[in-house]
Amino acid sequence: MADLDHRQQRIIEATEKLEADILDFAGRLVAEPSTLGDEASALQVMETELKQLGFETEKVAIDLRFLADHPGFAPVPWGYENRYNVVGYRPADLEGGRSLVLNGHLDVVNPGCLDFWQDDPFHPVIKDGWLYGRGAGDMKSGIAAMIYAVQAVKVAGFGMQAPVTVQGVIEEECSGNGALACLHAGYDAEATLIPEPFGPTILTHQVGVLWFKVTVRGASRHVLSASSGINAIEICFPIIAALRSLETELNDGPRPEAYKQFDHPLNLNIGLFSGGSWPSSVPDEAAFHGRLSYFPDVRFNEIRQKIIQTIKRASENNRWLSQNPPEIEFYGFRSDGHAVARSLPAFETLNDCHRMLTGTNAESYIATCTTDLRAFQLFGRGQATCYGPVAENIHGANERVHIPSVMQVAKTYALFLSRWCGLVE
Ligand SMILES: [Zn+2]
């Protein structure tokens, strides 16, 4: 850390002294099971923390009156009553610097089968330098680190020459509508950092992601005459097989240079399946929900058409489905990808901060998933990237985040605040 001047030394020391607060706050967020629709208590914890740290706070609603026509809005079948994002704002103490948004999502995915977890997923546990729990990595520790990076600058005795906004959003895991609402409410900046748990890297590319739902009808019978019925569950299998072929076709087709290093960058996932009501009745309805990704130079409508055509072709080869075509809905993610140059000024500053702490350049990260960067990159002022802690088993059992990496994120962000926003003595 030879490159640090004495002001930056003070900021790093202040950050290190906040480690217990960062872990305590991260743990309190993990203890709130903020799955889809149940985010209120985690938002409350964050809002209270922001107020205590001296931020001005605002609840930012996802208001369909303003957002429904936004090109980035994703229609969803659920509502937004009493669901919101929380924003903390620190105005500039002096002019002259560049503004910054620090964004993180408070929603988490379901813990899945509890048998696979060593501990209660919503009971944070620290073991051997790791914090365990659903959301520990994705991405409540990152949120704690980013908020306390702002606090570290203050504790070190500095003001800032530009406004800083910290955002805790919902629906990163399903639509991206939360971050979009913050952007639409005017909370954008000259740079945006998101501490997603991809490690201390600089994200330059992410794929597009869409969700869809396919519903099929069968013909119900008692199993004694099953051969005269149509099993709605089993008739899904050839449709899924056709979609799997589309996935292969997309991976085998032309791809951007950045994605040539991957064996299989684009992934189809059938993540939800339902149907039937009784082991001895031929099911008359089944539905499955899927997620498919696509390269950054492709748009949502193109892939949507490909999915519709693929299912149509599969249905034409089946006597029942050709007469009873599946219903296809597109809800949730319709998030196009993006690709940006590593040479953006915000990325260079971030890399400088990383190098000051580690002695090496930060690697670039090419993402095969989507993040809330989409809102800022496609509809905002850009210069948005992810740099976050090291986590394991995100979306799986025994999710955990490496505590030293959380502290590294806090320190890097604190240095970034000093360099990008500018300090006031
Ligand atoms: Zn995440």
Where does 6-206+337-424 sit in CATH, by number? 3.40.630.10
Q: What is the pLDDT of residue 25?
A: 98
Give per-residue pLDDT as tens, 214-227.
999 998 787 777 78
Q: What is the pLDDT of residue 222?
A: 79
Sorting pLDDT into bands at 50, 70 and 90, what band is 305?
very high
Q: Ligand 1 centroid vs 192 CA: distance in angstroms?
A: 15
Q: Ligand 1 centroid vs 173 CA: distance in angstroms?
A: 7
Give per-residue pLDDT as tens, 108-133.
999 999 999 999 999 999 999 999 99
The Cα 55–Cα 146 span in angstroms is 13
Q: Ligand 1 centroid vs 197 CA: distance in angstroms?
A: 7
Q: What are phi and psi of 200, to 5 degrees?
A: -80, 65
Share of the chain above pLDDT 90, in %: 96
Q: Ligand 1 centroid vs 5 CA: distance in angstroms?
A: 34
Give per-residue pLDDT as tens, 167-206.
999 999 999 999 999 999 999 999 999 999 999 999 999 9
**Average pLDDT of the segment spanning 240-256:** 97
Q: Ligand 1 centroid vs 272 CA: distance in angstroms?
A: 20
Q: Ligand 1 centroid vs 267 CA: distance in angstroms?
A: 17
Q: Ligand 1 centroid vs 384 CA: distance in angstroms?
A: 15
Q: What is the pLDDT of residue 3?
A: 75
Q: What is the mean pLDDT of the chain?
A: 96
Q: What is the pLDDT of residue 225?
A: 74
Q: What is the pLDDT of residue 220?
A: 78
Q: What is the pLDDT of residue 347?
A: 98
pLDDT of 2 > 70? The answer is no
pTM over 0.85: yes
In terms of average pLDDT, the best of 121-130, 223-232, 275-284 is 121-130
Q: Ligand 1 centroid vs 139 CA: distance in angstroms?
A: 5
Share of the chain above pLDDT 70, in %: 99
Q: Which residues contact 228 (CB under 8 A, 6 or more apart)?
A: 219, 221
Q: What is the pLDDT of residue 371?
A: 98
Q: Ligand 1 centroid vs 395 CA: distance in angstroms?
A: 9
Q: What is the pLDDT of residue 221?
A: 80
**Average pLDDT of the segment spanning 37-53:** 98
Q: Ligand 1 centroid vs 141 CA: distance in angstroms?
A: 11
Q: What are phi and psi of 176, to 5 degrees?
A: 80, 5
**Average pLDDT of the segment spanning 235-254:** 97
> Out of 3.30.1360.170, 3.40.50.150, 3.30.70.360, 3.40.1390.10, which CATH number does the structure's domain 209-333 have?
3.30.70.360
Q: Ligand 1 centroid vs 155 CA: distance in angstroms?
A: 29
Q: What is the pLDDT of residue 276?
A: 94
Q: Ligand 1 centroid vs 222 CA: distance in angstroms?
A: 46
Q: Ligand 1 centroid vs 326 CA: distance in angstroms?
A: 32
Give per-residue pLDDT as tens, 126-169.
999 999 999 999 999 999 999 999 999 999 999 999 999 999 99
Q: What is the pLDDT of residue 1?
A: 59
CB < 8 Å & 24+ apart, contacts of 243-250: 243/268, 243/270, 243/290, 243/292, 243/307, 243/310, 243/311, 244/268, 245/310, 246/292, 246/306, 246/307, 246/310, 247/292, 250/292, 250/294, 250/295, 250/303, 250/306
Q: Where are the domains of the chain?
A: 6-206+337-424, 209-333
Q: What is the pLDDT of residue 119?
A: 96
Q: 403-416 vs 19-30: helix axis angle to the nearest 10?
A: 110
